[in-house]
Amino acid sequence: MDDYREHLLSSLYSLMSSNILTDVTFRVNDVDIFCHRNVLAASSSYFRAMFTSPVIEKDEAIIPILNIDPDVFRDIIGYVYTGDVKLTNENVQDILVAGSMFELPYLIGRCSDHMINEICQSNCVEVFLFASHYSCLKLKDAARNFIQERFSELLKTQESIFDLSFEDFEELVESDDICVDKEETVFEAIIKWIDVDKTRVKCIGKLFKHVRLALTNFEYIKTVIEVNEYIKDDVQCADYLKLYNDYLTSMAESSDHPNCQKNMNLTQRYGMFCKPMLIFSGGGNTREERSLTAFDPVSHKNYIGVTPHPTFDFKCKVDHFQLVTVDMNKIYFLGGIFFDNHHMEDHGQALNEVLRYNMKKAKWESMKGMQVSRCCFSATVVGKNIYTIGGKSKFPRGPPTDSVELYDTDNNTWISVSPLPVGIYSHTSIATKDAIFLFGGKDEDDDILDTVFRYDVILDSWTLVTTQMPKPRAFATSFTFKSQLYVIGGASFHENMLAVLIYDSVKNKWSYGEDFPEERKIVVAEYHDGNIFVCGGVQQLGLSGRRSRQVESRDLYKYDITDNTWTKLVKLVQYGNTHSLSFAIMNTKYLDESDFISTI
């Protein structure tokens, strides 16, 4: 049946294109386009009304179409006959407007979906204004959600947000879902919106009531809000401030104060639940699942997004994968190998799977897989792209690969780029402004390397840097801080690496930071805000007369780069592990808080 439908549509389009049996001509800017009335009438109530209207004669040969580009009209007619249209960022708005004019809801939906996929920080406000003007509710909702999630950033980078109408701007500042970490940001946004056009001052009372004063710093209210010229001169603002003062009085006079919150909005905004957290993952309850847990290094609270398997079932445990974060809140789980596949087999098959964490749904979603299956590889973020470098497709036995791939997170696509000069695995890599540096690792003979490679992102080329690491090391982790590269952890054949290496790529010189304070093999670490965090590691424990054994620690240390000091933060991260670690901005509204609070 589907083949017949496709054949019928193709035949109708061929008849139209060849001007066979056509019975109506549209003239668009002196361009004639020939069509069949019955096909158009079947596709749209607009055309049906046109051809049944007494204004249009039944045998009228030419119908003029005004105020539309001929190419756009051809796209519209082509869609009517085939159900297909080639949408681009350049033509999608014109086609959506024309689709709205000619009452083609499925075409409008196609255009909306295309524009939704293209929403970004630089165009979200314009898309919102466009969708609002043409009443595209699905597109408007998507643009609004994007604006709400990035509200604080947009206030700094997109002046167009202050061009929103009063109704649209009010909808934002009254919403629980805008991402602000403090209420003062909302007040400042309102003042700037009025500053753009001083005639808007008449709206100050209606907007000011949406500032949640009970969540606002008391000193800020006294020194900034109450003395603001717009606020001082408005009666509604004065009334709202009086309600706030009454609220404070009630709070002070009554321990239970049942009525003092009556006129105060105490609901925290979406962004007030956002916190920078350490992220862990690994196996799950099935081979298709991955866990996700989080740890707040400030409050020492533990959280669950996707529950880990309570018995750490090895059949579902994934090792040697990469966990990376793009744009501070997009978490990706890449590759790896199942525990059984490399402990029960000499040539276990690695994975090419790529998963992205959906924070609001608290689940992992499948993305386009890597072209090459990988474990023991490195993954480095450059802007919104992820580079997967080297590793093994078969583990433990199997040659390392020299393959390098680039993942475009915006378009969910993978491409191969220039390969490594040699196959390497269990290495570390990190990006600077225009390059990726790769340190150490193992080669095909399992020799541990002290080499440094540099990848030029613009030229797509690898070079061997004329330097060596002070000691060979594999399984390390690396970070960038103020143009210097830090290499943490790992091991050689005979010792664990406790020294913090610092590489100046401009001067091509090495120096040392403070050694890690305990003997262990550090496998995972992560950087955030001038600090490097190390979760646990593998320690070799032995008793007199007995064989030593390896034990994994799950404590947490912080290395302050500026002060060059190590501090032990907690004795136990409840869901921590030594296989993965990343930093991301997480929203606690979508996480389950554990009763366990980590302590020192």
HEC readout, 96-108: HHHHHHCCCHHHH
Residue 266 burial (CB count, 10 A): 9
Task: State pLDDT tens for residues 2-16.
Answer: 678 777 878 888 888
Which residues, including other chains, have CB under 8 Å from residue 538's CB and lie 6 or more apart?
Answer: 520, 521, 523, 550, 551, 552, 553, 578
Task: State pLDDT tens for residues 322-376.
Answer: 999 998 999 999 999 998 888 888 889 999 999 999 999 999 999 999 999 999 9
3-state SS class at 579: coil
CA distances for 105 relative to 48, 50, 386, 521, angstroms: 15, 17, 37, 60
Rounded-to-integer distance, Cα 293 and Cα 185, Å: 30
pLDDT at 256: 54
pLDDT at 347: 87
pTM as predicted:
0.81
Rounded-to-integer distance, Cα 509 and Cα 88, Å: 49
Task: State pLDDT tens for residues 474-521.
Answer: 999 999 999 899 999 999 988 999 999 999 999 999 999 999 999 999
| CB burial of residue 499 (10 Å; 0-12, 13-18, 19+) | middle
pLDDT at 497: 95
Rounded-to-integer distance, Cα 148 and Cα 162, Å: 14
pLDDT at 251: 82
Peptide bond into 396 cis (omega under 30): yes
| Mean pLDDT value of segment 456-461 | 96
What percent of the chain has pLDDT above 90? 75
Rounded-to-integer distance, Cα 261 and Cα 524, Å: 47
pLDDT at 468: 96
- Where do the domains of the chain lie, and which CATH numbers do they carry? 2-118 (3.30.710.10), 271-597 (2.120.10.80)
pLDDT at 308: 87
pLDDT at 343: 82
Say if residues 400 and 391 touch (Cβ distance below 8 Å): yes
Rounded-to-integer distance, Cα 91 and Cα 114, Å: 11
Residue 414 burial (CB count, 10 A): 19
pLDDT at 260: 54
Task: State pLDDT tens for residues 399-448.
Answer: 999 999 999 998 899 999 999 999 999 999 999 988 999 999 999 999 99
User: What is the side-by-side strand order in the sheet with 62-65?
Assistant: 31-35, 24-28, 62-65
* Per-chain mean pLDDT for the chain: 91
**Which residue in this structure is represented by tokens 């007040």?**
187
Could you tell me how far CA 338 lies from the centroid of its own chain? 26
pLDDT at 12: 85
The region of weakest confidence among 132-146, 304-318, 527-541 is: 304-318
Could you tell me which of 275, 276, 325, 280 has the C-alpha nearest to residue 523? Answer: 280
Longest Cα–Cα distance in the chain: 105
3-state secondary structure 291-331: CEEEECCCCCEEEEEECCCCCCCHHHCEECCEEEEECCCEE
- Residue 577 clears pLDDT 80, i.e. is over it: yes
Task: State pLDDT tens for residues 222-256.
Answer: 999 999 999 999 999 999 999 999 999 888 776 55
Say if residues 33 and 78 touch (Cβ distance below 8 Å): no
463: confidence class by pLDDT, cuts 50, 70, 90: very high
